[in-house]
Amino acid sequence: MQANTTKAPAAIRVDLAAIFVSLELSRSKWLVTSLSPGGGERMSRHLVSGGDIPGLLDHFAELQRKAEVRTGQSFRVISIQEAGLDGFWIHRVLEREGIESYVVDPASIATSRRRRRAKTDRIDGEALVRSLLAYSRGEPRVCAMLRVPTPEEEDRRRLVRERKALTNERIRHVNRIKGLLFSQGVSGYEPLKGDRRKCLDALITGDGRPLPPALMAQISRELDRIELLIQQIKDVEEARDALLVAADEPTPALLLSLKGIGPEFAAVLWSEGLSRKFDNRRQVAAYAGLVPTPWQSGQINCEQGVSKSGNPRLRSTLVQVAWLWVRHQPNSALSQWFRARVIQNGGRYKKTAIIALARKLLVALWKYVNAGVVIEGALLTKPSA
């Protein structure tokens, strides 16, 4: 019997009711890949200079004109782009121009698992168009479209992120000073103390010499940077506290009313997670990257830990909050669950249990700030006089 050698179609044929466009963005050029009604299954490509919004809109208008000539109908444009360094300003411009625009998480798009996978802007652009087609058809789990924050929401996150960056920079300067001194046999010096310069002048090397002048000058300049960072962190914290007080929604006040959650944790939880809209608890945990990732195939059935595919700032903060929750909320149902789990494991796997507690705590906080469901056994701070 002769095998059927009929060539399969290159793409799934659908009744296209729009012009589907993907944008591959770079600093110098934008690659526009499009699939238009009446043009068959072939995708067209067009290069636009990076940042040339008028040129991009003119190309969209030309695509619409050609589609109308071929079919006698007018079609809307649906655009997709990957989330990246360009942020969301292009998405906002397209929506303002009446173009349906989507921003996709690039890690959610399925790719070939070959050892050496070909990757070009052309291949990526076509993959984006196919993902957009599948998403428009309503296929589940084809990709993860981002909920683009408003400019106000995006700007609100700057304070907590800037404070984190400043704190990391301060840690680097502190470690550099300690490393320089340790090479001279000096330990125990704390650059963050108020008498840092007085203590520096009194330091003696391990072999009994005063610190060399060039080393003293370098450490003094490092201290100048640290003092500047301390002042900038203080300014950011004051702006953060003012933002929490002036918030037009009750979430920050509700978070601050819980014992063990201070201004920094409340600001991160609010701006990075709880200010967003979620449909269910699974979406909440998934956004923080705290959902389990099973590995099941045949007789193999095991867990790989949490996905870590969500917001890393929210996830790391939740782990810290979970540890403090056990300390400051010992009588809450969540803390009792954690202690019972640790006892059940013979005192082992505390880190695994704290990750599970972080997931439960996030869901409980989401219910608390959105539906008013009080966390069982949680203590509230005393109202200020």
pLDDT band at 13 (very low <50, low <70, confident <90, very high): very low
Q: Per residue in 323-374, pLDDT tens?
A: 999 999 999 999 999 999 999 989 888 999 999 999 999 999 999 999 989 8
Q: Per residue in 161-220, pLDDT tens?
A: 999 999 999 999 999 999 999 999 999 999 999 999 999 999 999 999 999 999 999 999
127 and 204 assigned to the same domain? no
377 in a structural domain: no
233 and 138 assigned to the same domain? no
Q: What percent of the chain has pLDDT over 70?
A: 95
CB 354 within 8 A of CB 316: no
Give the Å distances, CA to CA, from 195 to 189, 192, 337: 11, 8, 45
Whether residue 384 is predicted with pLDDT greater than 80 in this model: the reply is no
222 and 291 assigned to the same domain? no
- Give the end of a domain, one of 117, 148, 179: 148
12 in a structural domain: no
257 and 237 assigned to the same domain? no
316 and 333 assigned to the same domain? yes
Whether residue 383 is predicted with pLDDT greater than 60 in this model: the reply is no
pLDDT at position 115: 79
Q: Distance (Å, rounded) from C-alpha 139 to C-alpha 103?
A: 17
pLDDT at position 16: 65
332 in a structural domain: yes
Name the phi and psi angles at 79, rounded to 5.
Answer: -115, 150
Domain membership of residue 329 as a residue range:
251-371
CB atoms within 10 A of CB 99: 18
Q: Distance (Å, rounded) from C-alpha 227 to C-alpha 170?
A: 9
CB 199 within 8 A of CB 189: yes
pLDDT at position 168: 97
pLDDT band at 316 (very low <50, low <70, confident <90, very high): very high
- Give the end of a domain, one of 132, 148, 164: 148
384 in a structural domain: no
- Give the end of a domain, one of 94, 120, 148: 148
The CATH number that applies at residue 47 is 3.30.420
What is the torsional sign of CA 295, 298, 300, 301? positive
2 in a structural domain: no
